[in-house]
Amino acid sequence: DFKSGALIKGIKKAKGDYISLIDADTIYLHR
């Protein structure tokens, strides 16, 4: 249970990093 919880947390963090990466990319392209 703890393992899957850590995995979900890791996926959420990775998703957040990916989204902010895309945001930075779009901001960079549209300035």
**pLDDT score recorded for residue 20:** 86
The structure's pTM equals 0.49
Look up the domain containing 2 and give its range: 1-31
Task: Find the length of the chain.
Answer: 31
**Cα dist. 26→10, 14, 16, 23 in Å?**
24, 18, 15, 5
Interval 1-31: pLDDT, tens = 678 888 889 889 988 888 888 888 888 787 6
DSSP string, the chain: -HHHHHHHHHHHHHHHHHHHHHHHHHHHHH-
Number of domains in the chain: 1
**pLDDT score recorded for residue 31:** 66
